[in-house]
Amino acid sequence: MADILSLALPFFGLIALGFASGKFVKIPEDGMAWLNYLVLYMALPALFFQTMSRTPIEQLANGRFILATVSCTFLTFIVAFFVALWLRRGNAREATIAGVVGGYANVGYMGPGLTLAALGAQATVPTALIFVFDSTLFFTLVPVLMAATGTERKGAARTTLLILQRVFTHPFIVATLLGILAASLHWSPPAAIDRTLEFLKNAAAPCALFALGVTVALRPFTETPREVPLLIAIKLLLHPVLIWLLLASLGGFSPIWIYTAVLMAALPSALNAFVMARQYEVYVEQASNGVLLCTMASVLTVTALLYLIERKLLPLTLFP
């Protein structure tokens, strides 16, 4: 248990430090701009590029794994969407953002830091694959559903262009694709550039986790709608259970890949839920509350999952 606490407490401790700083240090939110820029456009892209470029290309073409994880993420979103649709009295726009709260894990800020710390370098490829395809799923789903349910019709062409723009200009996805290209060409950057990328890569996790804590702390907290606890349960419990059941039933996956997928699914709601809510000016305060409460609850659930993984109590095959 001491090993689990030594891993989980520093990890969540960085989030807690960021949260406390955001609550008690009176610095304007604009002061986060450069740190967020470092995390989003420098450090995490460097991590994904370095990871993918050093991976044998044959390991990146695991279609069964990609299909299984994305299918479970999509199913989790659908469950959360319909729960919110029922409790929000048929408001499809609000239900769409609620579905993001319930289905989109924090695979960008928290994912790499946790999986690499808990499982080592072997977790980098499944971590990157889950990030790319889960993010692409939500970058596609949300604009389509908002266009279909909103009062302003953008048309299929404009919606498709918006989706492609968000997918192929996201710095994480661009870095991942460049890393895959480098791996396929067996290309390595010059020593000076490689060392710079290593510096940025090493800064990714601590900066991202601290920034996450500050960002959550700066969000307003109002009355919690009745669907939010259900969305949190869907995100923290249903999502990882679905992925574990499917991967363990299918078989043929490395233990590290199964553990990585379950850990990524067990992460709390992504901050993108709040970003998307603000973008479409719908479900903003509810999404903010959901992200905050889900992040707090994940301290217990993720630590419990780490204990199961460390003790090898999570079965890897259901039908031997």
Q: What are the sequence ranges of the domains in the chain? A: 2-25+34-310
* pLDDT of res. 155: 67
Identify the CA nearest to 84 among candidates 5, 149, 158: 149
Which residues does residue 269 pair with via DSSP β-bridges, in sequence order?
105
* pLDDT of res. 104: 96
* pLDDT of res. 8: 74
* pLDDT of res. 83: 96
Residue 21, C-beta contacts closer than 8 angstroms, at least 6 positions apart: 210, 213, 214, 217
* pLDDT of res. 3: 66
Q: What letters, b where the CB count within 10 A reaches 16 and e where it falls short, cover 248-264?
A: bebeebbebbbbbbbbb
* pLDDT of res. 126: 92
List C-alpha distances in Å: 49 to 121, 179, 198, 279, 286.
14, 4, 10, 28, 34
Compute mean pLDDT per 10 residues along the chain, 320 residues long, and list them. Answer: 70 86 85 83 85 77 92 97 93 94 90 84 87 87 80 67 78 84 89 92 82 79 82 97 96 94 95 83 87 90 91 85
Residue 59, C-beta contacts closer than 8 angstroms, at least 6 positions apart: 125
CATH tag for 2-25+34-310 (out of 3.40.50.1100, 1.10.10.10, 1.20.1530.20, 3.40.50.150)? 1.20.1530.20
Burial (Cβ within 10 Å: 0-12, 13-18, ≥19) of residue 105: buried
In angstroms, the CA 167 to CA 197 distance is 23
Query: Do 236 and 270 meet the contact criterion of CB atoms below 8 Å apart?
Result: no
What does the block give as tokens for 218? 């700066």
